[in-house]
Amino acid sequence: MIINSANLDAIRVGFSTSFRRGLGQATSMYSRVATTVPSSTKDNAYGWLGKMPNMREWVGPRHVHGISEHDYRIKNKSFELTISVDRDDIRDDNLGVYEPMFVEMGESVTAHPDLLVWNLLKNGWSTPCYDGQNFFDTDHPVLNENGAVVSVSNDGGGAGTPWFLLCTKRALKPLIYQEREKAQFVAKDNPRDERVFMNKEFVYGVDGRWNVGFGYWQMAFGSRQTLNEANYEAARAAITGMKGDHGRALGLAPDLLVVPPTLEGAGRELLKSALVNGGETNKWANSAELLMVPWLA
């Protein structure tokens, strides 16, 4: 193949097409637990996470809810993936070997938010959220009916394989995927480029900016106890009993049980089986959706 502008343009289009095919065929689950928030700056502030406003009887002046109670920010990060193509492979018309790599590039871009979101959830016991406590913790500070600070837990304890019960039906989900710039396919394929001259390589890549963070800890319960009926019931009770400041019931209802592959069987037995214990009715059957997440392996 002659290396000229027309052929390089055709090659670029072909690689870009393979990349877009990979974008469309990759598996992604992060949107089930994370709200996508568009970003237009280097970072976004989420001070309003400290407030869950509610209607109140209008007695006296209005009560204005502030949005800067907490200094919780998600800073966007830059990510890239780059592939080099040997000039000799272009001259020898040996480009078929690269097509799977560009398809994989697209799949990697689609899956990257999953890597970030699920890794963040898994590390919720050691990563702070908006109130300064770890996302899964036993002493989140909340004001009770008398205005005194009390400790509230969304941590089931234990030291085994973690599983998660989440409330995902509200406007903001338990996690946040913040997107500044979508991944863009770029090519550095001018025959006069220094890399082509020095290394006889044409370079193609993608880059973008985004990051992840935590939403409301009240909408998530993490446990490293055995996944069984008793611990599942305790997790549900913890979420449904969550209250905001001054004793206001939040009205949360958990709807999603997230498990790694090793706990899929236990999760199915808990939520899918109609009968348990040799014939008893399973009172928790279909009480939540089961989501097995490979990224939690």
**Number of CB atoms found within 10 A of residue 193's CB:** 14
CA-based torsion, 186, 189, 193, 199: positive or negative: positive
Task: Return the structure tokens found at 82.
Answer: 């780059």
Tracing tokens 């996302």 back to the chain, one arrives at: 135
> Do 257 and 291 meet the contact criterion of CB atoms below 8 Å apart?
yes
On whether the pTM is more than 0.85, the answer is yes
Exposed (0-12), middle (13-18) or buried (19+): which is 118, by Cβ within 10 Å? buried
pLDDT, position 52: 60
8 A C-beta contact, residue 14 and residue 148: no
Comparing C-alpha atoms, which of 111, 109, 100 is closest to residue 27? Answer: 111
Pairing of strands 155-158, 220-224: parallel
- Number of H-type helices and E-type strands within the chain: 6, 15
pLDDT tens per residue, the chain (297 residues)?
Answer: 777 778 888 888 999 999 999 998 888 999 999 999 999 999 999 877 876 655 555 656 654 444 345 678 999 999 999 999 988 888 888 888 889 999 999 999 999 999 999 999 999 999 999 999 999 999 999 988 888 999 999 999 999 999 999 999 999 999 999 999 999 999 988 888 888 778 889 899 999 999 999 999 999 999 999 999 999 999 999 999 999 888 889 999 999 999 999 999 999 999 998 877 777 899 999 999 999 999 999
